[in-house]
Each structure stands twice: as structure tokens, then as C-alpha cells.
């Protein structure tokens, strides 16, 4: 059915060994032979069977990618970056969506591990212990989470919060609410840490609300508490929550940003599309994906050098319509 190395060998009048060399280590083959083989291969539209190659080389040419929920607009951006970079490097990508289930996550790593050279774990929800366990199984790169010395790409959440708070205090806000994401979330903890630092540095006052589910409804639910707290600005754990806040504030007839400023985190595409558009701390999602693949590939090449590399990517505040001067009391 499919064209194999033998077909090419026959067509070029050489042995399979020579075909293999002509294609993968051309310098070992006489120019004339090499060209003949390459021509035959092209004519027959031959490409080596990756499974067979993997069997002997021990490398599959595949990467695994595990995400908690593609429905969360944060992830498609990261996935696209991973996709693109992997394809450039001639790797194929296995995708698995866990539906936010930590158990499924561990299970999937185990299943995938045998079919891939390494796995990119996007915002993994499983425990540190489990994470270390699966990292022993196969090369792993963490995205948006840091655990011990495991290779990881993260965002500078602390600085992002600094930018957010600086922006708000410059606008005169002194009492600021934070709608927290899940307690178990690493990035939520980091954001809270950065927030407290920045608030303290600015001499402002922080009111913490939540935690809530990092979904639209979480924001909707938090809005009334935020209003009750009598703040002039609110920072949400992420954009989706912020959108929920905006929606509920609108329903209650509260003007944004005249009466209250709203600030999100992530800069999902949607944030620029709503009205008022959402001021938010932008994370370089695509770069994160690319950097993750780069790190993983480096790690496969040279485990010693990259085995515990961690990179932190910068963030950028996107000032839009949902933040404005604090109302004069």
C-alpha cells in the first residue's frame, strides 16, 4: 500500500541502507548516488514511516500537550504557539483536554508518555507530588506553574500586579478589591502575592473577595460583594471573571469606569471586544507556548543543561476603557 524504503531502493537501484543514508546523512553517500536516490524518493513521494523509525531510534517525533480546558480562551492562544513551534521543528502534537480533572491529567500523562518524546503540561491542576511523579516518567515542561526545579515557563505575575496597581493608584484609587481565583491555583497565589506587595508599596487598601470559580459566573457572583465593599476599583483573577463583573455591574446600573474601575488578567481576545473594553494585564500566550516547546526540545537534546531551566516571561498592562479616574468622594 504505502511506499516503503524498499520501493525507493529498487527504483534507485541501491540497497535500503543506502536510501536511508542518502536521506538522513547525505554526506556519507557519493553525490551521484545521493541524487539518484533523492530523485527516486521524490518521484515516489516517499517519506519514512515514523513509527518504524521511532521503534529503532527510540524517538517518536511526537510531543504531548495537556490542557485543562480548551474552552477557556486562555489556552487556545498557548496551544497555537506550541503547535506552530512544534511544526517548525518537525514534531507532531498530541492534544489532550482534561476538563479540569486533576486525576485525568495524571492518567493522560501516563498514557501519552509512551507515545511521545516529551510532554508540555499547561497550567497543570494536579498536586506537586503527582507532578513530580509524572516528571520522573518522561521529560516534562510546565507552563504557567512552578514546582521545585522542574523545567517551567511562567509569567511574571508579580510584576503584572505591580503594573495593575500602579495604574490604578495613579488614577487615584485607594480602596481596591481583588476577586480571587481558585485557592489551589498557582497563578492565583502568585497574583495575590504580587498584589499584596504592590498594594503595600502604594499605601493603598486591599479587600479580598472570593475565591470564585474562574468563570463568567464567578464574576457575576462576586460583583455584589465588590459593590458592598465600597471600593472604587476591582482587579479580577482573570479576564473571564472580569467580564462577569462587568456584566453584573451593568445590570445593576453601575457605570464603568465612572463609578468603579475594573481590571482583568490574561488579555484574552474577547477583552478588546466588549464594551467598555477591558483594561487587563496581557500575558504573551503564544510566546509561552513557543518557549515551552523550545525548552522541551532543548531538554531532549541535552538533559543536563536544560534539565532544570525555568523562564519567566514579562507581562504588559493593556489600558482600555474599563479603568478611569477614581470618583471624587
Partner DNA sequence: GGAGAGTGTGAAATCCTTTGCGGAGGGTTG
Partner DNA sequence: CAACCCTCCGCAAAGGATTTCACACTCTCC
CB of 108 to a copy of itself, least distance (A): 8
DSSP β-bridge partners for residue 175: 205
Of 22, 17, 2, 83, the closest CA to residue 56 belongs to 17
- Which of DNA, a copy of itself, none does 30 bind, CB closer than 5 to 8 A by kind? DNA
Contact 264, 256 (CB under 8 A): no
Interacting residue with a copy of itself among 216, 225, 298, 313 (CB under 8 A): 216
Polymer length in residues for the chain: 329
Of 245, 251, 242, 196, the closest CA to residue 225 belongs to 245
Rounded to whole angstroms, the Cα distance separating 36 from 69 reads: 49
Rounded to whole angstroms, the Cα distance separating 130 from 142 reads: 13
Rounded to whole angstroms, the Cα distance separating 17 from 37 reads: 11
Element (H, E) at 81: helix 74-88
Q: Is 21 in the site for DNA (CB under 7 A)?
A: yes
Q: Is 201 in the site for DNA (CB under 7 A)?
A: no
Q: Is 17 in the site for DNA (CB under 7 A)?
A: yes
Q: Is 234 in the site for a copy of itself (CB under 8 A)?
A: no
Interacting residue with a copy of itself among 273, 301, 304, 329 (CB under 8 A): 273
Number of neighbouring beta carbons within 10 Å of residue 52? 11
Q: Is 288 in the site for DNA (CB under 7 A)?
A: no
**Site track for a copy of itself across 152-191, x = CB under 8 A:** ----------------------------------------
- Kindly tell me the sign of the dihedral angle through the C-alpha atoms of 231, 232, 238, 239: positive
Q: Is 89 in the site for a copy of itself (CB under 8 A)?
A: no
Q: Is 48 in the site for DNA (CB under 7 A)?
A: yes
Q: Which stretch binds DNA (CB under 7 A): 20-28, 124-132, 150-158, 213-221?
A: 20-28
Provide the binding-site residues for a copy of itself, judged by CB under 8 A: 1-2, 47, 49-52, 54-55, 58, 60, 62, 65, 70-71, 73, 75-77, 79-80, 83-84, 87, 92-97, 99, 111-112, 114-115, 216, 243-244, 246-247, 250-251, 269-270, 272-275
Amino acid at each position: 500500500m504505502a511506499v516503503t524504503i524498499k520501493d525507493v531502493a529498487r527504483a534507485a537501484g541501491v540497497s535500503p541502507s543506502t536510501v536511508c543514508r542518502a536521506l538522513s546523512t547525505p554526506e556519507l553517500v557519493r553525490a551521484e548516488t545521493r541524487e539518484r536516490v533523492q530523485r527516486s524518493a521524490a518521484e515516489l513521494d516517499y517519506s519514512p514511516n515514523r513509527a518504524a523509525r521511532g521503534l529503532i531510534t527510540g524517538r517518536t517525533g511526537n510531543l504531548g500537550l495537556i490542557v485543562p480546558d480548551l474552552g477557556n480562551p486562555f489556552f487556545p492562544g498557548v496551544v497555537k504557539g506550541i503547535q506552530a513551534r512544534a511544526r517548525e521543528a518537525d514534531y507532531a502534537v498530541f492534544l489532550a483536554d482534561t476538563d479540569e480533572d486533576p486525576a485525568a491529567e495524571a492518567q493522560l500523562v501516563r498514557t501519552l508518555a509512551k507515545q511521545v518524546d516529551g510532554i508540555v503540561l499547561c497550567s497543570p491542576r494536579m498536586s506537586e507530588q503527582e507532578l513530580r511523579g509524572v516528571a520522573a516518567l518522561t521529560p516534562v515542561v510546565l507552563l504557567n506553574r512552578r514546582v521545585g526545579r522542574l523545567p517551567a515557563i511562567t509569567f511574571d505575575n508579580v510584576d503584572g500586579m505591580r503594573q495593575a496597581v500602579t495604574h490604578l493608584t495613579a488614577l487615584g484609587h485607594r480602596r481596591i478589591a481583588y476577586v480571587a481565583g481558585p485557592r489551589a491555583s498557582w497563578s492565583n497565589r502568585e497574583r495575590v502575592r504580587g498584589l499584596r506587595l504592590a498594594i503595600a508599596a502604594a499605601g493603598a487598601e486591599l479587600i479580598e473577595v472570593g475565591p470564585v470559580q474562574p468563570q463568567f459566573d464567578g464574576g457575576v457572583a462576586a460583583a455584589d460583594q465588590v459593590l458592598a465593599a465600597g471600593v472604587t476599583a476591582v482587579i479580577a483573577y482573570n479576564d473571564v471573571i472580569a467580564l462577569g463583573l462587568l456584566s453584573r455591574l451593568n445590570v445593576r446600573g453601575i457605570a464603568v469606569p465612572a463609578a468603579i474601575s475594573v481590571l482583568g488578567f490574561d488579555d484574552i481576545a474577547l477583552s478588546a471586544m466588549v464594551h467598555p473594553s477591558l483594561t487587563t494585564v496581557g500575558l504573551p500566550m503564544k510566546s509561552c507556548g513557543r518557549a515551552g516547546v523550545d525548552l522541551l526540545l532543548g531538554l531532549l537534546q541535552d538533559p543536563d543543561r536544560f534539565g532544570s531551566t525555568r523562564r519567566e516571561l514579562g507581562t504588559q498592562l493593556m489600558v482600555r476603557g474599563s479603568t478611569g479616574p477614581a470618583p471624587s468622594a
